[in-house]
Structure 1
Amino acid sequence: MALPAPPPPGAKALPDGTYDGQVVAVTGGGTGLGKGMAVEFARLGAKVAILSRKPDHLESGLAAMRTVGAEAIAVACDVREPEAIARAFDEIEAKLGPVDVLINNAAGNFPAPAEEMTPNGFRTVVDIVLNGTYNCSREFALRRLAAKRPGAILNIGATYSWTGGPGTAHSAAAKAGVTNLTQSLAVEWAPDGIRVNCIAPGRFPHEDLPGHMTRHREGERGDNTIPGMRVGEVRELGWAATFLCSPYASYISGHTLVVDAANWLRRSLVMPEFVPIREQFGKRAIESGSAKDAIARTRRDG
């Protein structure tokens, strides 16, 4: 047994036209979970702006929008640069209209033992994940406040931001900041009609995920390491995102919704053997070489 399979691709969690006339901006929206969420907003009538630093990611996002017949644009933007974000919002407003919903999905991560990270590698992840979320949220809020218009922001957290974990010192710290930022901004901006929520995704294999980061081959969905006994479908995350940003969630703000089939809560009287992070990296490096490559890059960049 496992949790029931979700409705098939193309199904919608909300009524048709829920986002008609609204503009949704998705940072990091050209690949993976960001692209999956963008597709679900588009299915419900949203005009979508895909933001990314990389041209190939922008094209991938636009291609996904074309498959669902959405009105969409791709905008080059580095979320670490406030001036670039302001230019991106100007372009979106000129081509689609003011942004009504902001999805802060852009992220950076590489697993590595804490002592192997360079200060620059640590800083880069924090700059993209935490500072990037703040930079985009600030630009969005400044414009909504000036226009005296409500809006919705959805940030992307992580359950390991509450627990920590080996190899994630940089990203866990940054994601913990995102969770707290979500709560702080929700309180500050609620009187002005701006809601701020967060999603913490579980295991969602997708076509853009590097092979060394998933244990599932294409088409495999069973997973006996998760209480729900299966991995998630990307559209399930998209449905949660479209709900939280919709009028049907108008009284929800400052909340982090975990979408992971209870995986982060699992505990057992008989826990599996703990494997130190350096031993894990040794095993991964033998299989793919990816861990050593990531550490070498941070040493080089630092």
Structure 2
Amino acid sequence: MTDYPLPNTSQDLSGQVALVTGTTSGLGRRFAQVLASCGAKVAITGRRVERLEALAEELRATGAEVEPIALDMRDSEAIVACVEQAEAALGTVTILVNNAGIPDAQRAHKMDNQLIDDVFDTNLRGPYVLSCEVARRLIAAELPGRMVNISSVGAFNYAGQGAALYSITKAGIIRMTEALAVEWARYNINVNAIAPGAFASEMMDGMLERMGDISKMFPRKRICDPAQMDSTLLYLVSPASEAVTGTFIKIDDGQGSR
């Protein structure tokens, strides 16, 4: 027995309802699996319905309570409807992971207006609309919440190889995190961000195909595995991070420090 309080490190998310965007592959899929494994009910979202259903079946087989919801982050009305469906099926959303994003993969001066709109709306406008919708419901219900926005080390480092707008939107996610954290702190809604480096995903596969094996430039010469982000995600949504809001955590394996 100790005569001092035990560390506040619980990762039990029982009673929590999580909504994760972009769960049909890569990081989002892993985030949904991790949150479900810790006891949260999870609304999984994305545009590829067949993949959503497959992930839902996989998670249900482990005993998790899951609601798959088709969602295009470019559609504001669909975003509101998604939150309504998640709440009707699982309860008030208390954990939001803004993960969905698309690359531009194009030089800035060569991008057409439709691609510009798609990248802005998916990567920045959509997450803002979704965050506000979730916050409105948390405030009305007088419940605390945790929001984790997925940015990128591209918000801080840009090599000039055809991802300017992606970098701009991910920098916007950092500023959105800081601003909303200040505005919603009084309601006990914590807003933080993770800025990953090169992690295995469909988006990364496309980059590797276009640019070659970029891992050779990294200090550890590797592409990271999404599971290496588990502890950070769980920290930011757990009671242990109650006083942490408006910050971002880089997870880049030293890639951005070269």
Say whether 1:203 aligns with 2:198.
Answer: yes
Structure 1 pair 30/46, CA: closer, same or farther in 2 (3 Å)? same
Which 5+ residue runs of structure 1 have no aligned equivalent?
1-13, 216-222, 267-302
User: Is the partner of 1:203 in helix, strand or coil?
Assistant: coil
Looking at CA atoms only, which structure, 1 or 2, has the larger radius of gyration? 1
Q: TM-score, normalised by structure 2?
A: 0.88
Tell me what 2:3 maps to.
none
- Number of positions where the alignment pairs a residue of Structure 1 with one of Structure 2: 245
Q: Indicate how the Cα distance of structure 1 residues 92 and 212 shifts in structure 2: closer, same or farther if over 3 A, else same.
A: closer
Instruction: Please say if residues 119 and 165 of structure 2, whose CA atoms lie closer than 8 Å, have aligned partners that are also in contact.
Output: yes
Asked if the contact 1:150–1:193 (Cα under 8 Å) also holds between the matched residues in 2, the reply is yes
Quick check: 1:161 aligned with 2:191? no
Verify: 1:129 aligned to 2:123, yes or no.
yes
Q: Which residue of 1 aligns with 2:212?
A: none
Query: Contact 1:40–1:239 (CA<8 Å) still a contact in 2?
Result: no
How far residue 35 of structure 1 moved from its aligned partner, in angstroms, is 0.4
Q: Deviations over 1:37-81 (max 9, x none)?
A: 111111111111101122123124324423543111101122222
- The structure 1 residue matched to 2:28, chosen from 31, 34, 38, is 34
2:56 corresponds, among 37, 58, 62, to 62
Map residues 100-119 of structure 1 onto 2, 5 A cutoff: 100-119=94-113
Q: Which ranges in structure 2 are unaligned for 5 or more consecutive residues? A: 1-7, 210-214
8 Å contact from structure 1 (residues 203, 232) kept in 2:
yes
Deviation readout 1:65-99 (Å, 9 max, x if unpaired): 23543111101122222321221112111111111
Task: Name the CA distance, whole Å, in 2 between partners of 1:164 and 1:127.
Answer: 21
Report Cα offsets for 1:277-297 as digits up to 9, x if no partner: xxxxxxxxxxxxxxxxxxxxx
**Do structure 1's residue 52 and structure 2's residue 46 form an aligned pair?**
yes
Amino acid in structure 2 at the alignment position of 1:128: T
Q: How does 1:1-302 map to 2 (within 5 A)?
A: 18-66=12-60, 68-166=62-160, 167-206=162-201, 208=202, 211-214=205-208, 223-266=215-258
Distance in 2 between the 1:165 and 1:229 partners? 18
Q: Structure 2 vs 1, CA of residues 211 and 133 (structure 1 numbering), >3 Å: closer, same or farther?
A: closer
Aligned identity (percent) is 35
1:228 Cα shift?
3.5
Residue deviations 1:154-196 (CA, integer Å, cap 9, x gap):
1010111123332011111111111100000001101110000
Partner amino acid, structure 1, of 2:139: L
Distance in 1 (CA, whole Å) between partners of 2:11 and 2:234 is 12
User: Over residues 259-282 of structure 1, what are the superposed CA-to-partner deviations in whole Å (9 max), with x where a residue is unaligned?
Assistant: 11121111xxxxxxxxxxxxxxxx
Structure 1 residue identity aligned to 2:183: E
Secondary structure, aligned partner of 1:205: coil
Tell me the SS of whatever aligns to 1:173.
helix
Residue pair 1:79, 1:135 contacting (<8 A) in 2 also? no
Cα distance change, pair 67–17 in 1 and its aligned pair in 2 (3 A): farther
RMSD: 2.0
Kindly provide the amino acid, as one letter, of the partner of residue 186 in structure 2. P
Contact 1:111 1:168 in 2 (8 A): yes
Q: Tell whether the 8 Å contact from 1:205 to 1:214 is kept in structure 2 after alignment.
A: no
Question: In terms of mean alpha carbon deviation, does 223-232 or 139-148 score higher?
Answer: 223-232
The answer to which of 123-132 and 163-172 deviates more is 163-172
Does the 8 Å contact 1:25/1:101 carry over to 2? yes
Q: What whole-Å deviation, never above 9, does each CA across 1:223-260 have from its counterpart, x for those lacking one?
A: 55322443322111132111111111111111111111
